[in-house]
């Protein structure tokens, strides 16, 4: 959840949605694992409480820290399974143990600190086990509505079967779920959720079909009456070219001429001809097969005779990185690959590129295209999921 910790788009939503809801008067309290990196940054913070995380083979202890971020309360749940993993996302088995521990710890923290929510909202497979636990572990919140938001269906927590069993969570018994799915965190959580949402209306429809349903389409279709797509948004104050310190020049959204300064600055940084009319294309993404980086590179290769300049920013899958590296090496006079997660440069790209490429194979929602729209970098996208809806 931004601004505390960010790996991908989930962080923007988890960070900004509570703020947006607060404007409607909703008191949202956000729980996050107290990741080692965060712990190091917040070294002075004192724990508020410790709570028990029961397991069939004994009890683990979770620590609860709390802080205010932009007027919102954030609870940080710490403990041995979370300390054991250096990164936010790592080995599947270890991740499943740490996130299951986290979810149970978060519920126990609410109980112990006397805060009973009207709705429990879990995001993705990582928080999904908490809903199963809330419903089955005699916790007592049997009537508290449970909402699960799916940000990316293929990530179901594969490898997490043993961890769920270690925390005493029984497999799902919904007859619409295939056998292989019943012991996985995401399907288990979905089977206990009162409502399932995903992050765009189109994706909510797509996941009920074999092409996008990852084998869960029959189950999801059986829940169609309780499955909705609610489009993500971005905070226009956070994404505002008129008040952004990163680009060479700030500009009002009704004076796009000022963007040329930003485009020229990028061309200068990369040592390319400073032509106003050569289209500058940017792609800002995790380098994952989902995101279609290969589709963009192939397309640019096929456009050899057309003028373009291309900047790809992001890191991820080593095979995709290698492909991008080779492409940039072969087109040094007009292509660059920066294998980094760099929020500062990404804002300069939104503010200076003419077009933003988002050729995702599937896209639950996608946020980059909204940032591109806000900054006047025209998104060129595949018509899928949230890209279609926005």
Return the number of the residue (63 or 152) whose C-beta is nearest ligand NHF: 152
Check binding of 16 to ligand NHF (CB under 6 A).
no
Check binding of 121 to ligand NHF (CB under 6 A).
no
Burial 293-312 (b: 16+ CB within 10 A, else e): bbebbeebeeeeeeebbbbb
Check binding of 10 to ligand NHF (CB under 6 A).
yes
Task: Candidates 4-12, 82-90, 111-119, 334-342: pick the segment binding ligand NHF (CB under 6 A).
Answer: 4-12
- Chain centre distance of CA 55: 29
Can you tell me the distance from the alpha carbon of 306 to that of 96, in angstroms, rounded to the nearest whole number? 48
Check binding of 13 to ligand NHF (CB under 6 A).
yes
Check binding of 356 to ligand NHF (CB under 6 A).
no
Residue number with the smallest Cβ distance to ligand NHF: 9
Selected from 1, 4, 9, 296, the binder of ligand NHF by CB under 6 A is: 9
Contact present, 222 and 360 (Cβ < 8 Å): no
Check binding of 202 to ligand NHF (CB under 6 A).
no
* Cβ 9 to ligand NHF shortest distance, Å: 3
Check binding of 316 to ligand NHF (CB under 6 A).
no
How many residues belong to the site for ligand NHF (CB under 6 A)? 14
Query: What character string, x for contact with ligand NHF (CB under 6 A) and - otherwise, covers 249-288?
Result: ----------------------------------------
Judged by DSSP in three states, 141 sits in coil
Check binding of 77 to ligand NHF (CB under 6 A).
no
Task: Identify the DSSP state of 244.
Answer: -
- Token pair in block for residue 75: 């609870």
Selected from 95, 206, 363, 389, the binder of ligand NHF by CB under 6 A is: 363
- Nearest 10 degrees: Cα torsion 72, 126, 143, 137: -120
Can you tell me the distance from the alpha carbon of 56 to that of 54, in angstroms, rounded to the nearest whole number? 7
Contact present, 53 and 61 (Cβ < 8 Å): yes
216: preceding bond cis by omega (within 30 degrees): no
Binding site for ligand NHF (CB under 6 A): 8-10, 13, 151-152, 199, 232, 363-367, 386
């Amino acid at each position: 959840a931004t601004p505390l910790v960010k790996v991908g788009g989930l962080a923007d939503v988890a960070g900004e949605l509570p703020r947006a809801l607060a404007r409607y008067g909703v008191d949202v309290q956000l729980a996050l694992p107290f990741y080692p990196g965060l712990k190091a940054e917040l070294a002075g913070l004192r724990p508020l409480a410790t709570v028990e995380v029961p397991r069939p083979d004994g009890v683990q202890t979770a620590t609860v820290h709390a802080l205010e971020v932009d007027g919102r309360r954030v609870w940080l749940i710490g403990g041995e399974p979370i300390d054991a993993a250096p990164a936010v996302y790592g080995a599947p088995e270890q991740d499943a143990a740490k996130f299951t521990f986290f979810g149970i710890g978060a519920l126990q923290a609410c109980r112990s600190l006397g805060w009973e929510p009207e709705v429990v909202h879990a995001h993705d497979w990582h928080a999904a086990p908490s809903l199963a636990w809330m419903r089955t572990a005699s916790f007592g919140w049997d009537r508290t509505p449970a909402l699960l938001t799916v940000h990316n269906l293929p990530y179901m927590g594969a490898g997490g079967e043993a961890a769920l069993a270690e925390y005493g969570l029984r497999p799902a018994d919904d007859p619409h779920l295939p056998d292989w799915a019943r012991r996985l965190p995401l399907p288990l959580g979905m089977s206990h959720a009162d409502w399932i949402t995903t992050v765009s209306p189109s994706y909510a429809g797509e996941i009920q079909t074999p092409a996008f349903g990852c084998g869960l389409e029959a189950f999801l279709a059986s829940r169609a009456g309780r499955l909705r797509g609610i489009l993500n948004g971005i905070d226009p104050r956070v994404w505002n070219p008129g008040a952004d310190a990163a680009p060479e020049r700030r500009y009002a959204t009704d004076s796009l001429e000022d963007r040329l300064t930003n485009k020229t600055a990028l061309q200068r940084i990369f040592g390319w001809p400073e032509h106003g009319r050569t289209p500058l294309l940017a792609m800002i993404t995790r380098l994952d097969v989902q995101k279609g980086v290969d589709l963009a590179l192939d397309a640019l290769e096929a456009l050899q005779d057309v003028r373009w300049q291309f900047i790809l920013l992001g890191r991820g899958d080593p095979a995709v990185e290698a492909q991008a590296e080779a492409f940039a090496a072969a087109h040094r006079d007009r292509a660059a690959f920066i294998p980094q997660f760099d929020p500062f440069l990404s804002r300069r790209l939104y503010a200076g590129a003419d077009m933003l490429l988002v050729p995702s194979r599937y896209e639950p929602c996608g946020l980059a295209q909204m940032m591109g729209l806000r900054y006047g970098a025209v998104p060129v996208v595949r018509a899928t999921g949230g890209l279609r809806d926005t």
